[in-house]
Copies of this chain bind each other. A is one copy, B any other.
Amino acid sequence: MSNTFEEKTIASQSIYKGKIIDVRVDDVELPDGNKSKRELIDHPGAVGIIPVTDDHKIVMVEQYRKALEKSIIEIPAGKLEVGEQPEVTANRELEEETGYRAGSLDYVVSYYTSPGFANEKLYIYEARDLTKVDDALKGDDDEFVEIIEVTIDEALDLIKKEHIHDAKTIHAIYYLMQKEGRS
């Protein structure tokens, strides 16, 4: 696709370099020749995993999200380490967060989470043939999650109650419904 309405960078100011995100403000030249500023977040990208058990339940994690100041229930996810292939991240995060190892891991789709200001790209995988492992990888020291397994109907109810309340998890549920021909 052509880069219609491309905005040329005139200057770029680094605001913050963090552990997970970098922040910068770019001065841009617009297609009509005028100038504007763009506030931008650089993010390494992440994976989300849709783990489905043999009895058709979706494995999810409940965790506290400081940005929202509340706990929500999400599909397992985690950010890419430098140079890491998304499949590797997906297998690692699945095991760390849920204690499951996947017999099959299939790529579903990738998307930008919030293209208006961030370049975070999320790679979504579907994990099947799950087995619980005794010696599961340990997650980050500052991550606390609780595992729950839900049916699609239970997940729809959790969306209504806004306990499931993020884009990737809602998308995952629609994806499974569409795959199973449910409407």
Q: Which of chain B's residues have a CB closer than 8 A to the CB of A109? A: 159, 170
Identify the interface centre among A15, A40, A116, A142: most chain B CB within 10 Å of its CB. Answer: A116
Q: Is the CB of B67 within 8 A of A111?
A: no
Interface residues of A in 66-120 (CB under 8 A from B): 66-68, 70-74, 77, 79, 109-120
Residue among B31, B65, B115, B122 making CB contact with A65, cutoff 8 Å:
B115
Q: Is the CB of B31 within 8 A of A144?
A: yes
CA distance A74 to B170 in the complex (A): 18
A141 at the A/B interface (Cβ < 8 Å)?
Answer: yes
Identify the interface centre among A18, A30, A110: most chain B CB within 10 Å of its CB. Answer: A18
Q: Which of chain B's residues have a CB closer than 8 A to the CB of A162? A: 110
Q: Which of chain B's residues have a CB closer than 8 A to the CB of A171? A: 167, 170-171, 174
Q: Is the CB of A117 within 8 A of B64?
A: no
Q: Which of chain B's residues have a CB closer than 8 A to the CB of A36? A: 141-142
Counting chain A residues whose Cβ lies within 8 A of the other chain, the interface size class is 35 or more
A177 at the A/B interface (Cβ < 8 Å)?
Answer: yes
Q: Which of chain B's residues have a CB closer than 8 A to the CB of A5? A: 63-64, 71, 144-146
25 contacts between A and B (CB under 8 A): A1-B62, A1-B163, A3-B64, A4-B146, A5-B145, A16-B16, A18-B25, A20-B117, A32-B144, A34-B142, A38-B67, A46-B116, A65-B115, A65-B116, A67-B117, A72-B115, A111-B165, A111-B167, A112-B166, A113-B113, A113-B167, A114-B167, A171-B171, A174-B178, A181-B183
Interface residues of A (CB under 8 A from B): 1-7, 15-16, 18-21, 23, 25-26, 28, 30-32, 34, 36-41, 43, 46, 62-68, 70-74, 77, 79, 109-120, 122, 141-142, 144-146, 159, 161-163, 165-168, 170-171, 174-175, 177-183
